[in-house]
């Protein structure tokens, strides 16, 4: 009894503390940082050093987009590739291109951008000795095999790409190893940026403070902490920044960035944490942005495993696809920041670019009865069950995998037909995928490099394609892709790519799950915030009160 | 005393080698980190090979370890995947985490011992029960919850502090994270002191001191506290290292770019130079803190002798 009498004041104390804390709540944070016109945005630590050909993730790409302008730029609204530094890109045979660049452009250190700046940068990016993770972007240029042999032990037999030739200060010629009609449209990717002479003269100094030719120039850069960008006074393009500059702050956790946005210490968060998606609309109102991005999530099948081959394998894949309730998962789990996928591309391409709603047909629609029928027709799942494998260290993959498995189990009326096989780290997961050690379904997300239908198909499904994780191979598909690449007009190319896509929908080496949206939130201090097709904010357009 | 210190320092060598070897093996067992650098794309074999050669990943494990240890003694801790020398990361991260740990340690020492003495002397009274319940709450609720709640109330609702700490991480901004970080240890220090004080207060020498008519204050500080602090000091010593390494959660919540953050990044990206490098320094801090604790025993209780 003694205990209880003494507990009362203790509880009262706790309650009083809680009351004082909540009572003072609702005061609102002071919005620090006055009208200096600088946008304060969240950032993540880039994975590699900031070099155009060595950056393959969003955080580094965000900076490259601000400090570089290449030959083309993808329109922030439509995703269409438009000339930026290119005056013209001409070809007669879809294989040799003559590129003229605009006059008067300068790097932020004042040196002019010439044809040589491009040729030097591309040669650097392609060369094996520089070990750039994105060097495959130069693989279509003639002579790539000599500077970057694919064999593991081979040495480069040439220093420069034989397909690159400087004609004069503002003209250079590119010869590809095969016809590729859409090639000029790929040139908006950051890997094709020009580099100033200082990059080659003092590489370490350049990496400490990269110099480019874009709308912004780096004022100061503390690695893994923050970067301050100011207007590039030498910028030659038309999209000059409408603000005084951008301060990128590295956040160790995007939840903290979101809290900082709420407290008024930050202007822009371009990745709303999954746990806040449910509240974001209520918290931010029209300052919450949720729009399509060029990302599609799929699960692939190990086509190298005999269980998944042949006609029965195809029926199994179709059945599994129809057993997944995409609508429910995207609305409940993702609060409509994903859209059920009905083809293998992305809505950001637009219809003229090759996106076709419903191309996948009824295979991608939820029909549990038909799913059960198809799987029974195929003789049941191999061994009576199937697994979904993915890394679970990032991206809250565990949740959707559980949801997909539940959906399959419900459709098949079997509680253990589908199980999740979590892998601890991304590296381990990728190693297993590389080594073809998968036995069931596994996660294969794809974020586009450039808004082209080619990019959603060729790397993923072409025989031995650079991201063909399922090991899929179809002569018919390959032929159609080859023919589309040498088509003389863009429309013709897109049509043929869609024909190739129909073969994928038929063979189904991967099942489309959903298209991913980009999400962002901003403060009341900034306006005109939007995301481009890569779900990166268009910083130049942002205005500050 | 001098011989004791030398012997202790020599004992550190095998501990140091063992700890680094275990960490090295653990990171290595996670698999090949190079594939992950290429994202969802199949690595280009030639580039992957060049990268492996650059980070010595193409050599047998024992050779990697020897190369690594050899370089450590020249002060070269290798390079992270983003091209930054690990020593640069350390130069920035350790001072921040050390500041955070010192704040946490001071807070838990001052508040924890004070609360412990008060409750120890007033066992069974209402203040004792209150503190006991509060410490139980603190121990039971995960740091993550305490941290985010405090961050929301003080950062967003009240606006007293910034929810995120700036990259420079000055002392003032680290007060709240430091408090959150030390709360669990603070609860243990309180309970440890309380028990110790509670036992000693009934001992003969205290009764003698009271009988001699010594002032109450002198009894508490010079006689009671001094004898009660040995277990507490042991705990605090081990805690300094734990605070630095265990700050991963707190540092994430408050956006502090310290040791916890760099370790987390290193593990996520499977960057063995970063992980092993940071752990090596942490091991050293642990060992030195423990040595310091052992030396402090003699100050608290002169009967303890070193041989």
Residue A409, pLDDT score: 94
Give the tens place of pLDDT for each residue, B24-61.
888 877 777 888 888 777 788 888 888 888 888 888 88
Q: Do A256 and B40 touch (CB under 8 A)?
A: no
| Contact in structure between B269 and B81 (CB atoms under 8 Å) | yes
Residue A408's pLDDT band, with cuts at 50, 70 and 90, is very high
Q: Do A14 and B134 touch (CB under 8 A)?
A: yes
- Rounded to whole angstroms, how far apart are CA atoms A453 and A446? 12
Residue A49, pLDDT score: 86
Residue B190, pLDDT score: 93
Residue A423, beta-bridge partner list:
A391
| Contact in structure between A47 and A62 (CB atoms under 8 Å) | no
Report for A473-482, B76-85, B137-146: range of highest mean pLDDT: A473-482
SS3 of residue A179 by DSSP: coil
Residue A407, beta-bridge partner list:
none
Q: Do A152 and B50 touch (CB under 8 A)?
A: no
Give the tens place of pLDDT for each residue, B92-116.
889 998 899 999 999 999 999 999 9
Percent of chain A exceeding pLDDT 90 equals 63
Q: Say which range, A399-403, A502-506, B236-240, has the weakest mean pLDDT.
A: B236-240
Backbone angles phi, psi at A149, to 5 degrees: -60, 145
Token pair for residue B235?
């705990």
Q: What is the DSSP letter of A344?
A: S
- Rounded to whole angstroms, how far apart are CA atoms A349 and A381? 36
Residue A539, pLDDT score: 95
SS3 of residue A422 by DSSP: strand
The string of DSSP codes covering A239-269 is: ---SSSEEEEEE-S-HHHHHHHHHTTS-SEE
SS3 of residue A183 by DSSP: helix
Best of B34, B115, B159, B262 to mutate (most A CBs within 10 Å, chain A)? B159
- Whether the per-residue pLDDT at B264 is higher than 60: the answer is yes
The CB-side HSE value for A120 (13 A sphere, CA atoms) comes to: 14
In A274-365, alpha helices (H): 277-284, 310-322, 326-332, 350-353
Give the tens place of pLDDT for each residue, A325-334.
999 999 988 8
* H or E stretch covering A443: strand A441-447
- Rounded to whole angstroms, how far apart are CA atoms A47 and B51? 14
The string of DSSP codes covering B28-84 is: HHT--SGGGGGTTSPPPHHHHHHHHHHTTTTS-HHHHHHHHHHHHTTT---B-TTS-
CB-based contacts of A85: which residues, under 8 Å, 6+ apart? Answer: A69, A70, A71, A101, A102, A105, A113, A194, A213, A236, A237
- Whether the per-residue pLDDT at A2 is higher than 70: the answer is no
- Whether the per-residue pLDDT at A254 is higher than 70: the answer is yes
Q: Do B83 and A30 touch (CB under 8 A)?
A: no
The string of DSSP codes covering B189-241 is: HHHHHHHHHHHHTTSHHHHHHHHTT--HHHIIIIIIIHHHHHHHHHHHHHHHH
CB-based contacts of A298: which residues, under 8 Å, 6+ apart? Answer: A341, A344, A443, A444, A445, A446, A510, A511, A512, A513
- Count other C-beta atoms under 10 Å from residue B81's C-beta: 22
Q: Do A47 and B269 touch (CB under 8 A)?
A: yes
Residue A295, beta-bridge partner list:
A447, A516
Residue A7, pLDDT score: 37
- Rounded to whole angstroms, how far apart are CA atoms A512 and A501? 12
User: Beta strand pairing status for A245-250 and A226-231?
Assistant: antiparallel
Residue A36, pLDDT score: 83
Cα dihedral across residues B92, B93, B98, B104: positive or negative? positive
- Whether the per-residue pLDDT at B230 is higher than 70: the answer is yes
Nearest alpha carbon to residue A280 among A229, A322, A334? A334
From chain B, pick out residues whose CB is under 8 angstroms from the CB of A149.
46
From chain B, pick out residues whose CB is under 8 angstroms from the CB of A135.
44, 47
CB-based contacts of A116: which residues, under 8 Å, 6+ apart? Answer: A166, A169
Token pair for residue A110?
């004042």
Number of A/B CB contacts below 8 angstroms equals 203
| Contact in structure between A453 and A498 (CB atoms under 8 Å) | yes
From chain B, pick out residues whose CB is under 8 angstroms from the CB of A459.
41
From chain B, pick out residues whose CB is under 8 angstroms from the CB of A49.
82-84
Please state the rounded mean pLDDT for residues B166-188.
88
Give the tens place of pLDDT for each residue, A529-539.
999 988 899 99
First CA to last CA across chain B, in angstroms?
7
- Rounded to whole angstroms, how far apart are CA atoms B13 and B194? 37
Cα dihedral across residues A178, A182, A185, A186: positive or negative? negative
Residue with structure tokens 């900076």? A63
* H or E stretch covering B104: helix B86-121
- Rounded to whole angstroms, how far apart are CA atoms B132 and A504? 65
Give the tens place of pLDDT for each residue, A162-221.
999 999 999 999 999 988 888 998 999 999 999 999 999 999 999 999 999 999 999 999
Residue B189's pLDDT band, with cuts at 50, 70 and 90, is very high
Residue B260, pLDDT score: 86
Residue B307, pLDDT score: 56
SS3 of residue A421 by DSSP: strand
Residue A182, pLDDT score: 85
CA B10 to chain centre: 23
- Whether the per-residue pLDDT at A11 is higher than 70: the answer is no
Token pair for residue A460?
């993923």
Q: From the CA of A148, how many Å to the nearest CA of chain B? A: 7
Give the tens place of pLDDT for each residue, B268-300.
777 878 888 888 888 888 888 888 888 888 777
Residue with structure tokens 């198809």? A374
From chain B, pick out residues whose CB is under 8 angstroms from the CB of A265.
162-164
CA distances from A184 to A117, A165, A352, A455 (A): 18, 16, 17, 13
- Whether the per-residue pLDDT at A25 is higher than 70: the answer is no
B44, B49, B261 member nearest A252 (Cβ): B261
Residue A34, pLDDT score: 44
- Rounded to whole angstroms, how far apart are CA atoms A408 and A320? 7
Q: From the CA of A206, how many Å to the nearest CA of chain B? A: 12
Token pair for residue B157?
């609702």
Q: Do B133 and A7 touch (CB under 8 A)?
A: yes
- Rounded to whole angstroms, how far apart are CA atoms A91 and A180? 11
Please state the rounded mean pLDDT for residues B190-199.
91
A48, A424, A425 member nearest B82 (Cβ): A48
Residue A4, pLDDT score: 39
Give the tens place of pLDDT for each residue, A276-320.
888 888 889 999 999 889 999 999 999 999 999 999 999 999 999
A47, A48, A259 member nearest B152 (Cβ): A259
Q: Do B130 and A57 touch (CB under 8 A)?
A: no
- Rounded to whole angstroms, how far apart are CA atoms A27 and B153? 10
Nearest alpha carbon to residue A408 among A374, A432, A450? A374
* H or E stretch covering A431: helix A426-434
Nearest alpha carbon to residue A320 among A404, A261, A398, A397? A404
Give the tens place of pLDDT for each residue, B2-17.
888 888 888 888 988 8
From chain A, pick out residues whose CB is under 8 angstroms from the CB of B263.
none
Residue A153, pLDDT score: 75
| Contact in structure between A60 and A45 (CB atoms under 8 Å) | no
| Contact in structure between B212 and B219 (CB atoms under 8 Å) | no
In A324-423, alpha helices (H): 326-332, 350-353, 368-377, 397-412
- Rounded to whole angstroms, how far apart are CA atoms A212 and A200? 13
Residue with structure tokens 């095969």? A178
Q: What crossing angle do the helices spanning A368-377 and A397-412 adopt, rounded to 10°?
A: 80
* pTM across the whole model: 0.83
| Contact in structure between B183 and B176 (CB atoms under 8 Å) | no
- Whether the per-residue pLDDT at A3 is higher than 80: the answer is no
CB-based contacts of A356: which residues, under 8 Å, 6+ apart? Answer: A343, A345, A498, A501
Nearest alpha carbon to residue B129 among A13, A6, A12, A8? A6
Cα dihedral across residues A63, A64, A67, A72: positive or negative? negative
Give the tens place of pLDDT for each residue, A98-119.
999 999 999 999 999 999 999 9
SS3 of residue B147 by DSSP: helix
Residue A274's pLDDT band, with cuts at 50, 70 and 90, is confident
Residues listed for chain B: 307
């Amino acid at each position: 009894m003694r205990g209880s009498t003494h507990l009362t004041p203790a509880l009262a104390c706790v309650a009083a503390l809680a009351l004082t804390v909540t009572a003072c709540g609702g005061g609102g944070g002071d919005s620090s940082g006055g009208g200096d016109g600088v946008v304060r945005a969240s950032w993540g630590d880039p994975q590699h050093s900031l070099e155009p050909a060595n950056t393959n993730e969003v955080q580094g790409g965000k900076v490259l987009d601000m400090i570089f302008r290449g030959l083309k730029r993808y329109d922030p609204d439509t995703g269409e590739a438009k000339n930026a530094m290119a005056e013209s890109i001409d070809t007669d045979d879809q294989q040799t291109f003559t590129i003229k660049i605009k006059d008067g452009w300068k790097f932020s250190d004042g040196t002019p951008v010439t044809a040589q700046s491009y040729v030097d940068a591309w040669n650097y990016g392609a060369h094996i000795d520089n070990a750039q993770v994105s060097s495959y972007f130069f693989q279509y240029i003639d002579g790539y095999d000599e500077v970057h042999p694919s064999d593991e032990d081979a040495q480069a037999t040439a220093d420069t790409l034989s397909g690159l030739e400087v004609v004069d200060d503002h003209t250079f010629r590119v010869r590809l190893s095969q016809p590729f009609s859409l090639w000029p449209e790929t040139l908006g990717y950051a890997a094709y940026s020009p580099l100033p002479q200082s990059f080659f003269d003092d590489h370490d100094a350049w990496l400490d403070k990269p110099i480019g030719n874009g709308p912004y120039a780096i004022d100061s850069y503390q690695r893994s902490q923050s970067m301050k960008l100011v207007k590039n006074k030498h910028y030659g393009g038309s999209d000059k920044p409408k603000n005084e500059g951008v301060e990128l702050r590295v956040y160790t956790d995007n939840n903290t960035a979101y809290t900082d946005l709420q407290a008024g210490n930050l202007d822009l968060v371009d990745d709303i944490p999954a746990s806040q998606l449910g509240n974001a609309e209520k918290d931010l109102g029209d300052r919450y942005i949720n729009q399509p991005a060029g990302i599609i999530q799929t699960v692939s099948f190990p086509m190298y495993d005999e269980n998944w081959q042949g006609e029965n394998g195809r029926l199994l894949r179709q059945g599994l696809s129809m057993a997944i309730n995409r609508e429910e998962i995207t609305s409940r789990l993702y609060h409509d920041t994903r859209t059920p996928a009905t083809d293998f591309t992305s809505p950001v391409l637009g219809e003229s670019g090759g996106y076709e709603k419903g191309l996948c047909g009824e295979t991608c629609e939820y029909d549990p009865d038909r799913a059960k029928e198809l799987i029974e027709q195929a003789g049941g799942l191999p061994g009576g069950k199937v697994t979904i494998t993915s890394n679970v260290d990032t991206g809250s993959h565990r949740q959707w995998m559980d949801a997909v498995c539940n959906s399959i189990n419900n459709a098949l009326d079997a509680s253990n037909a589908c199980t999740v096989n979590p892998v601890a780290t991304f590296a381990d997961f990728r190693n297993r995928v590389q080594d073809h050690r998968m036995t069931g379904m596994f996660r294969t997300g794809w974020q586009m490099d450039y808004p082209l239908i080619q990019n959603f198909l060729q790397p993923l499904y072409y025989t031995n394609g650079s991201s063909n994780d399922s090991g899929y191979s179809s002569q018919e598909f390959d032929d159609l892709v080859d023919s589309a690449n040498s088509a003389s007009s863009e429309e013709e190319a897109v049509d043929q790519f869609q024909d190739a896509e129909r073969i994928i929908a038929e063979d189904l080496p991967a099942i489309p799950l959903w298209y991913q949206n980009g999400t962002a939130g901003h403060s009341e201090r900034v306006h005109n915030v939007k995301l481009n097709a890569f779900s990166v904010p268009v910083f130049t357009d942002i205005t500050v009160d | 005393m001098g011989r004791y210190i030398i012997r202790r320092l020599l004992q550190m060598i095998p501990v140091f080698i063992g700890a680094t070897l275990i960490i090295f093996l653990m990171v290595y067992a996670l698999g090949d980190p190079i594939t992950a650098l290429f994202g969802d794309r199949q690595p280009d074999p030639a580039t992957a090979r060049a990268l492996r050669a650059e980070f010595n990943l193409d050599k047998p494990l024992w050779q990697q370890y020897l190369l690594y240890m050899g370089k450590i003694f020249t002060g070269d801790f290798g390079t992270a995947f983003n091209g930054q020398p690990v020593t640069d990361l350390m130069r920035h991260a350790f001072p921040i985490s050390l500041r955070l740990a010192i704040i946490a340690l001071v807070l838990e020492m001052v508040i924890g011992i004070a609360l412990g003495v008060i409750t120890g002397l007033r066992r069974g009274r209402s203040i004792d029960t209150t503190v006991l319940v509060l410490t139980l709450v603190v121990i039971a609720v995960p740091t993550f919850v305490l941290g985010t709640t405090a961050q929301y109330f003080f950062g967003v609702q009240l606006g007293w502090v910034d929810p995120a700490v700036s990259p420079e991480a000055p002392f003032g901004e680290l007060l709240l994270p430091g408090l959150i970080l030390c709360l669990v240890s603070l609860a243990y220090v309180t309970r440890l002191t309380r028990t110790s004080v509670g036992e000693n207060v009934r001992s003969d020498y205290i009764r003698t001191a009271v009988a001699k008519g010594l002032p109450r204050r002198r009894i508490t500080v010079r006689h009671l506290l001094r004898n009660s602090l040995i277990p507490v000091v042991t705990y605090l010593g081990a805690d300094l290292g734990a605070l630095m390494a265990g700050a991963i959660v707190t540092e994430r919540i408050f956006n502090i770019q310290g040791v916890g953050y760099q370790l987390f990044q290193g593990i996520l990206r499977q960057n063995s130079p970063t992980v092993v490098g940071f752990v090596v320094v942490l091991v050293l801090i642990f060992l030195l803190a423990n040595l310091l604790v052992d030396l402090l025993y003699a100050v608290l209780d002169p009967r303890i002798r070193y041989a």
